[in-house]
Amino acid sequence: MRTRARRPGVAAAKTVGIVALLAFSLFPAYWMFSSAIDPEAATRGARLLPAGVTWDNFVTVIDDGGFGHYLRNSVLVALGTVLASSVVALLAAVAVSRFRFRFRKSMLVLILMVQMVPLEALVIPLFLQMRNLNMLNSLLGLTIVYLAFALPFAIWTLRGFVAAVPVELEEAAYLDGASWGRMFWRILVPLVAPGVVATSVFSFITAWNEFIFALTFLQQSSKYTVPIGLQKFFGENTTDWGAVMAASTIITLPVLVFFVLVQRNLSSGLTAGSVKG
């Protein structure tokens, strides 16, 4: 009996399939980068191969005082979100996966439910709230809002990582006379560190990519994050597509790197946390 893989028709079909898949998947990313390095992208119409290689578009974007500033704002907001959400989520994850208490199940359902809250519906009340608190145009205000967005997912994921740490380790620490706090820092935290890294990356990406709240809250250009700052390269009538694509490349790069890095981490965490196959 011939195996399928050896039939030449099947092999050819697979080759066509993989080429088509790669082309479809990678084309926009390729197009973004190739336009960014094409010296004539905006002026002479687009071609599949760039007319040359220039870093001028990147230099334009970076030299532009504004964009560097937006990058800094985005980094601040994203790092703040990561830091706050990691701490708060880890505490909550330990509570729901290490303690048996009344309403524990209700808490789990609540965390699952709030993931479903459509954030688009919250933009109006949160805008009015921030306005009353005088926190529009505040990077701190934006960070706090992103913390809330990142939290349900982070708690839910970390819960799996915490559950995967054998309770026996904690019990041994107790028997040795360690306090709860000591056990938490010396045993639990190092063991769930990979999980914290994985969820941190997703918190980072949430804050880095977020558009609608940044658009609504940030009204002074000095406070813009990169998704909002990007719009500055759009002219009234003409757009410098080379610059837009260079800026887009800069924004996309960290997400791409993080995403590829964390994917393995996350799936290992999922397997650790869930026993069902």
Partner 1 sequence: MADLRAAPDASAASATLADRPPSGTEPTGTRRRRPGGLGHRSPLRPWLLLAPGLVVLGVLLLWPLVRVVLLSLQDYGLRQIASGESNWVGLQNYVDILGDSYLWTTVLPNTVLFALACVVLTVVLGTAVALFLNTLGGFWRGVGATAIMVAWAVPAITGTYVWVWIFDPLNGLVASVLEGVGAIEPGTVNWFTERLSFYAIATLNVVHHGFPFVAITVLAGLMTIPHELHEAAKVDGASAWRRFWAITAPILRPVFAVVTILSTIWDFKVFTQIYLMPGGNGGNKDVFNLGVWSYIESFAQGKYGMGSAIAVLLTLILLGITLVYMRTLFKEEEL
Question: Which residues ranging from 36 to 75 are in contact with partner 1 (CB under 8 A)?
Answer: 41-48
Least distance (Å) from partner 1 to the CB of residue 53?
19
Other Cβ atoms less than 10 A from the Cβ of 17: the count is 10
Query: Considering only residues 132-151, where is the footprint of partner 1 by CB under 8 A?
Result: 144-145, 147-151
Q: Which of 105, 133, 190, 221 binds partner 1 (CB under 8 A)?
A: 105
Least distance (Å) from partner 1 to the CB of residue 103?
9
Does residue 219 belong to the site contacting partner 1 (CB under 8 A)?
Answer: no
Query: Considering only residues 149-208, where is the footprint of partner 1 by CB under 8 A?
Result: 149-153, 155-157, 159-161, 163-164, 167-168, 170-171, 174-175, 179-180, 183, 202-203, 205-206, 208
Does residue 121 belong to the site contacting partner 1 (CB under 8 A)?
Answer: yes
- Is 150:81 a contact under the CB 8 Å cutoff? yes
Count the residues of the shown chain that bind partner 1, applying the rule CB under 8 A. Answer: 123
Alpha helices in the chain (DSSP H): 8-37, 56-63, 65-98, 104-114, 119-132, 139-163, 167-175, 180-183, 189-209, 212-217, 226-229, 241-273
Query: Considering only residues 3-42, where is the footprint of partner 1 by CB under 8 A?
Result: 14, 17-18, 21-22, 24-26, 28-29, 31-32, 35, 41-42
Name residue, tokens 């820092």.
185
- Is 153:117 a contact under the CB 8 Å cutoff? no
Least distance (Å) from partner 1 to the CB of residue 225?
11
Query: Considering only residues 227-266, where is the footprint of partner 1 by CB under 8 A?
Result: 227, 230, 238-239, 241, 244-245, 248-249, 251-252, 255-256, 258-260, 263, 266
Amino acid letter for position 161: F
Other Cβ atoms less than 10 A from the Cβ of 151: the count is 20
* Coil/strand/helix, residue 231: helix
Q: Closer CB to partner 1, residue 59 or residue 109? A: 109
- Return d(Cα 8, Cα 10) in angstroms, integer: 5
